[in-house]
């Protein structure tokens, strides 16, 4: 067995993943309500729930969660 490197930024592997791990070229959640062309969209944002899917999930801004009321009724935080 090879000794672990003390450098945590050194690559563990650089080849393709094994064939038994499936991959896909699209994202399972399709863009909706976004007119930015056919470019990738960053989903690692705290506010991503407001532009993904049905836009019905809360955004977590600890210690609060915010839900977009889409212009109807009131807005409620939990």
The model's pLDDT over 1-42, given as tens digits with 9 standing for 90+, comes to: 556 677 888 888 888 889 999 888 776 766 666 676 677 666
CA torsion angle 22 25 29 33 (round to 10): 180
Query: pLDDT tens, 43-77?
Result: 677 777 777 777 778 888 888 888 877 777 655 55
Q: What is the pTM of this model?
A: 0.38
50 three-class SS: helix
- Annotated domain spans of the chain: 41-67
């Amino acid at each position: 067995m090879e000794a672990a490197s003390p450098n945590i930024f050194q690559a563990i592997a650089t080849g393709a993943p094994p064939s038994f791990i499936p991959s896909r070229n699209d994202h399972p959640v399709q863009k909706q309500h976004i007119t930015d062309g056919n470019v990738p969209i960053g989903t690692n944002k705290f506010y991503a729930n407001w532009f993904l899917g049905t836009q019905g999930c809360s955004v977590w801004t600890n210690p609060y969660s915010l839900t977009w009321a889409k212009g109807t009724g009131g807005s409620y935080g939990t």
